[in-house]
Every structure is written in C-alpha cells, then in structure tokens.
Structure 1
Amino acid sequence: MPRHEFSVDMTCEGCYNAVARVLNKLGGVQFEIDLPSKRVSIDSEHSVDALLETLKKTGKTVTYLGPQDQ
C-alpha cells in the first residue's frame, strides 16, 4: 500500500483530532500524525487527490509532500 506524506497546518490537539476524524470517516487508511512537525503520513489505496480533499475538509492548509519510503 503506498504511503503519502502531507503537511497540515495543525497547532493543537483539536487540529490533531480533526485530521484523525476526517481520515477515519474516509476508511481504508492507516495514518500517523506528527503534531510537532505538522506532518501526516497516510497508507492508502485512495488517490492523492482524494486524500488532499479529505484533509482540506478540516479547514487547515494542506500541502502534498510526496510519496514516502516505508
């Protein structure tokens, strides 16, 4: 399963929870959220565009950083 890394403008536990909530609703994903570095790594068969749109539902600024070696 491909792993993709995103930068998400998260500043607090509430931001962390918002990201986790939208990704859990999407389903079929495994993810790690690194709040201090504002990065989210997602293992998913979903397209990068689908993941970007899902993360943008949090209202945060989201940037795709690229595929990540596992």
Structure 2
Amino acid sequence: ERALENYRKADADINLSRAEVEKHRIVMNGKTQQYEESKNEYAAQLQQYNNHQHEFYSQSMPEVFQSLQ
C-alpha cells in the first residue's frame, strides 16, 4: 500500500522527472508481485496444515484409540 501511495505522490509531483516516477512504478510493481506471491504461499501452507490436521484427527487418532482397545 505504501509503495502504491508513494507512486501516486510521485506521479502527481510535477517536480519529479519521468525517470523518478518510473522508478517508483517499478518498485510498486515489484512489491505488489512480492505481496501476491507471499499471500499465495501462505494460503498453500495453511491448506497443507489443515489437511494434515484433518488427517490426524480423522485417521491417525482413531487408529491409535482402536489399537488400544
């Protein structure tokens, strides 16, 4: 969000050169891409954790209790 805000400020500032504005745009795009990749990685890891947890409580634990009887 800050990168987008900085880019918008730079784009609106008439004292900055086009090269400076372009630099801010590149930084903004890089940070946006990094955010999306991190968000997707987190979602994948969370899904994997949830699958393991489900397997543990629906299969592993009942098998242990069954073997103890």
- Given the two structures, how large is their TM-score scaled by the length of structure 1? 0.29
Greater length-normalized contact order (CA 8 Å, ≥ 6 residues apart):
1
Instruction: Find the structure with the greater CA-based Rg.
Output: 2
- Given the two structures, how large is their TM-score scaled by the length of structure 2? 0.30
Q: Decide which structure has greater helix share.
A: 2
